């Protein structure tokens, strides 16, 4: 690949044809879209964040296509990761909003969302995300090749180009999946190991602890020590500062929103620090997260405006599909017709609770945020793309407009969440599409075939995501310890607050002002706010994974190339752990719904208290060492 010359030349020349859309690539891609979509849905509903599936999908595709099927087309592997990564992106957009509908149904405010509603919302949002991005490809991917780097897209291309190492790299993913699946079964299946280690300070009323879950260590390794440290700092403020203060000053007092007549002291006696956190601190965290999302959006507002203006200018210049294979997009007539059909379906389809005004809002905000997301992924990477901020902004405007039109109450709230869901999925899929098209541009893929691959991935994952959401809700219910659904709970609070719900606004504004203070001090608001909003037990485990990453990155006797290779291998191993735990979590949910149990805790005598905690600590340490050892090999 020649990247510095005036005329860019991809790895596979435009004149050369190589297999791309094949039966094998489509089938493997669909499987990975469903697998990574389900795993990321489970992860996001537990910890409020997802991880990119592009590179793990790429190495798995190379392992299967090259080693098992004896095929040797890099473009075929690229199409597999294109289809597979769509599942993760669609799941991320769906889980951040749609569980709010289940929470309202559980409270008796509305009926349970129909499976057809979830599928249609996901499908329409995903298709719009792909189609909105297609007219932007020439402007963002081709014309600005030297300025828009698309970090994850380039990294995925580099992994595919290093195809001769595909077998060993793919094995890291599968090892991670196997180990995580085994430990998830021990902890939540057979229940022979405690799921968490907790240390409460009775007189101080604070609490610290850690959950023994492989996926959390994997998340910490991927996000790194700095981000995970900010998350732990937020948890320490919540669990070791705010909770003790609430217990100290309000011990004999009833404080809203606790149940009427329940004092803080009796609440602590019944449920410990967790009861104080769920009744008070999480509202402070919600205010901080909402503010952090808006801050990230406002800070990028000049870039957003410039991006949108530049993209429209490029579009006005026109672009005819070239005769070369690497210049061929889906026909513009097909794109425009597809957009019109999707908007019409959103408006007319009975399962989707959106009126004409909502459909118009989706068309306007969808194209705007698809443009913004596609460009920002190129500038700062998908990990820093403020999709949650875009969703919050959309919800705020949509809820205000719906309320002004007279649709208040639960009808307006479900409509607002439906609009927010579509926009969130549009932004997530548009960013993923642009990233995949950048990978394809570097490799010499056919854009039209990649765009078809994205649509295939959207279709497969939209058919699966509804079942996953229903399954997890039926097994454990959203808002509990197993699937707290933090982002969706936040979106629910925002909509309820605007519609006039009885939110504890004092606590929310404490979080708002805390976030503003952190911003003034130069502290990243979002990771701190997530730490405040999530239980400390999760964040301590995430920090453990970050410390493993810090150890590997800070070694002095290892050269930079070796560090980079080991970091990548560790990332693949951790991605495998996340997928493995997520898949077993889905399997356990199926068993729970079916009334089956693997619980052996009563059949085996494993000791009391301290012995079980020691066993959990040993497992916790073993998981951390496994990540380090895999990366260093």
DSSP letter, residue 279: I
Question: Where do we find the tokens 């699966």?
Answer: 464
Mean pLDDT across the stretch 548-574? 86
d(C-alpha 533, C-alpha 277), whole Å = 9
pLDDT band at 53 (very low <50, low <70, confident <90, very high): confident
Q: Tell me the per-residue pLDDT of 56-80, one tens digit each, with 9 for 90 and over.
A: 888 888 888 887 888 878 999 999 9
Q: Model's pTM, two decimal places?
A: 0.82
Residue 596 has pLDDT above 80, yes or no: yes
| Phi, psi (degrees; rounded to nearest 5) at 200 | -100, 145
d(C-alpha 172, C-alpha 633), whole Å = 10
- pLDDT value at position 421? 93
Residue 314 has pLDDT above 70, yes or no: no
pLDDT band at 377 (very low <50, low <70, confident <90, very high): confident
Contact 210, 537 (CB under 8 A): yes
Mean pLDDT across the stretch 612-631? 78
Of all residues in the chain, the percent with pLDDT exceeding 90 is: 36
User: 180: closest CA among 217, 224, 144?
Assistant: 217
d(C-alpha 193, C-alpha 212), whole Å = 9
- Mean pLDDT, the chain, whole residue set: 85
d(C-alpha 326, C-alpha 374), whole Å = 19
Residue 112 has pLDDT above 60, yes or no: yes
User: 246: closest CA among 271, 282, 202, 277?
Assistant: 277
Of 124 and 6, the one with more pLDDT: 124
Of 477 and 290, the one with more pLDDT: 477
Mean pLDDT across the stretch 360-384? 79
Question: Pairing relation of β-strands 196-201 and 206-211?
Answer: antiparallel
Alpha helices by DSSP H, 185-281 = 214-237, 243-249, 264-276
Helix (H, G, I), strand (E, B) or coil at 353: coil
Residue 165 has pLDDT above 60, yes or no: no
Largest CA distance in the chain: 79
Q: Tell me the per-residue pLDDT of 182-240, one tens digit each, with 9 for 90 and over.
A: 989 988 888 888 888 888 887 899 999 888 888 889 888 988 899 899 999 999 999 99
Of all residues in the chain, the percent with pLDDT exceeding 70 is: 90
């Amino acid at each position: 690949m020649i990247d510095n010359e005036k005329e860019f030349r991809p790895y596979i020349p435009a004149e050369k044809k190589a297999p791309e859309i094949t039966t094998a690539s489509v089938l493997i891609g669909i499987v990975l879209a469903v697998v990574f979509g389900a795993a990321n849905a489970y992860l996001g509903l537990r910890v409020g964040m997802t991880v990119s599936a592009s590179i793990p999908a790429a190495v798995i595709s190379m392992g299967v296509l090259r080693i098992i099927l004896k095929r040797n087309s890099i473009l075929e592997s690229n199409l597999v990761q294109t289809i597979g990564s769509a599942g993760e992106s669609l799941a991320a957009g769906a889980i951040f909003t749609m569980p709010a509908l289940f929470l309202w149904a559980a409270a008796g405010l509305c009926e349970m969302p129909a499976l057809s509603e979830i599928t249609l919302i996901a499908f329409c949002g995903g298709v719009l995300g792909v189609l909105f991005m297609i007219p932007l490809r020439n402007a963002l991917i081709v014309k600005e090749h030297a300025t828009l780097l698309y970090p994850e897209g380039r990294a995925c291309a580099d992994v595919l180009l290093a195809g001769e190492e595909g077998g060993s790299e793919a094995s890291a993913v599968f090892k991670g999946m196997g180990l995580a699946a085994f430990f998830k079964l021990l902890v939540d299946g057979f229940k022979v190991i405690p799921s968490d280690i907790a240390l409460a300070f009775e007189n101080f009323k604070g609490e610290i602890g850690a959950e023994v879950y492989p996926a959390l260590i994997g998340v910490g390794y991927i996000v790194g020590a700095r981000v995970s440290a900010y998350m732990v700092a937020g948890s320490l403020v919540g669990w070791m500062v705010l909770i003790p203060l609430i217990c100290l000053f309000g011990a004999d007092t009833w404080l809203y929103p606790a149940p009427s007549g329940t004092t803080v002291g009796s609440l602590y006696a019944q449920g410990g620090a967790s009861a104080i956190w769920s009744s008070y601190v999480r509202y402070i965290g919600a205010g901080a997260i909402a503010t952090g999302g808006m801050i990230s959006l406002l800070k990028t507002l000049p870039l957003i405006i410039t991006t949108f203006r530049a993209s429209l200018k490029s579009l006005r210049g026109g672009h005819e599909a070239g005769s070369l294979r690497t210049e061929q997009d889906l026909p513009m007539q097909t794109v425009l017709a597809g957009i019109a059909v999707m908007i019409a379906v959103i408006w007319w389809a009975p399962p989707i609770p959106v009126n004409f005004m909502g459909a118009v809002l989706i068309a306007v905000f969808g194209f705007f945020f698809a443009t913004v997301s596609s460009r920002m992924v190129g500038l700062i990477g998908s990990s820093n793309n403020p999709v949650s901020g875009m969703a919050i902004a959309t919800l705020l405007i949509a809820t205000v407009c719906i309320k002004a039109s007279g649709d208040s109450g639960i009808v307006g709230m479900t409509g607002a969440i439906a609009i927010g869901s579509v926009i969130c999925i549009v932004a997530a899929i548009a960013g993923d599409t642009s990233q995949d098209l950048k990978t394809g541009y570097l490799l010499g893929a056919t854009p039209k075939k990649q765009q078809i691959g994205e649509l295939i991935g959207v279709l497969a994952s939209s058919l699966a995501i509804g079942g996953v959401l229903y399954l997890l809700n039926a097994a454990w219910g959203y808002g509990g310890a197993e699937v707290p659904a933090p982002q969706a709970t936040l979106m629910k609070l925002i909509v309820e607050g605007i519609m006039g719900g009885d939110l504890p606004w004092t606590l929310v504004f404490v979080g708002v002002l805390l976030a503003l203070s952190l911003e003034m001090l130069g502290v990243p608001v979002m990771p701190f706010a997530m730490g405040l909003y999530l239980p400390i037990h999760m964040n301590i485990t995430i920090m453990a994974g970050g410390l493993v990453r810090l150890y590997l990155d800070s070694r002095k006797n290892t050269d930079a190339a070796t560090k980079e290779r080991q970091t990548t291998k560790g990332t693949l191993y951790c991605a495998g752990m996340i997928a493995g735990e997520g898949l077993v979590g889905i399997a356990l949910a199926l068993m729970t719904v079916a009334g089956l149990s693997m619980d052996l805790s009563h059949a085996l005598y494993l000791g009391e208290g301290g012995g079980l905690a020691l066993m959990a600590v040993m497992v916790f340490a073993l998981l951390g060492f496994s990540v380090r050892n895999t990366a260093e090999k």
